Structure 1
């Protein structure tokens, strides 16, 4: 009972030298008369004779001894003046936005007895507490995105005012408008995904960063840089985007840089329709058209099959214009 009543004492405790005996000021109506007040102040809990009315009052040592049906609220049960003041937060949080796992600092007053941080509907144990500052980590249970209210609760059960905090969802990438580019030049590409609006840069693997200003949350167009220093026929480079809420996961989206195809030889060097011709060279990856050109500048399309650094083609008697590869003279017999 004494401990419970102590929780209902004043929230703004007086300094010790300002406390006066409330029993004496009430002209001894609460206890038998004696020679006068004397001794240090204590907090006394007492009831009237009916047992239905309870009082808490600062009381001197002499009046305490003369008061029936009373008990002293001992000092360990009393709270310091700072602890009795309700916690108050000062805006804004630092940072004012973040994602799960980020450390957040709250500044305020009377925070020394904080036991939990109320992050939306989640109760978070603070990582550090002082009289003017509380630090906590944004929980994994935070909503994917949006505003939540942040407050603190003290050992007395008092809850502070609430401050807004914005949860920023990390970006995700789902694909690209182009998945292959010439290594010598690079080119424009549209990155697809979600949560791009606060994006600042797109990173293309080891090649470098490209500054961006997304106008839509689900896509952003950028110019992929050239990749002149690459080695081999194909260089796969992961593409990520960085926003205020972090960086997208690497490895989910990538660009393949290709060397320009070059023909070095054919075998055989002559043939007839339906013959199989092997074309050797470099950069012959993902070839989609093989074209034979005769002396009259007509062209013949050919079926093809990829095989390492060579392409096997079967000459067909169907003529069309267009070529994706460099051409070597190949007589059509």
Structure 2
């Protein structure tokens, strides 16, 4: 059966040119190869899958690719690498059921390292996030394993997300004398000087910052989005507003209108909208006529501009396409 899956995946890869499709197919093949015990090939495919996912840049593709590579590294007892990827796989706007699966997998890595308190925290989150049968079935034996090992102690204290992810981005700080904002590295020393009047946290390797106007920088302080905008404030479906980028895009404000830019500063939607909500399946938009529609990631209309906000978000929910295959 696994060999047949591998053969079918090979056939599809020969004709697949889309990076998202190649990422998913390589991910499936890596799981099959891992199950067959071919761990070198499984790791190579998982790394290639992640590379294609990084080129696409969406949370729904990146997270499963990271989790699959983490699974291979865990089986190879590279727990440091696995823990980093599990942590990164939690980042972004993702379905709770997927987060539950990732947390359950991360617990197994912690158990192997005898980080039992941290493992219990992962298992608690996994049970809160999902009632998926596969995930639920994995929690009970993991808990039993923890309790057996706990007779010899619970091991090191649990790590923060930043520690598990190996500090993937600088953290913002405010310089007391000037009141300006900059960013600190993992050693708590400045890595980006405090020159900004306002600053958001890094998300996906990019942070919104303001001098006279708003723009965005990368983790080295390089300007990615020029200082052109009155605001960079992105609304997500649950009502939260993020200062900066979500899933590689940000809502910008200019002269009273809202638009959408990508991480290179390219306009996806011009600033002619009254409101925009960034959804994993696309962008809900209100052009000012009190009716909503939606655009896909290329800016093409996928829902006509004639519904309520709630109706559009419900329709977009049905379009969410995360790779739900085995990790």
TM over 0.5: no
Classify the TM-score, shorter chain.
under 0.3
The structure that has the greater radius of gyration is: 1
Question: TM (normalized to structure 1)?
Answer: 0.21
Greater per-residue helix proportion: 2
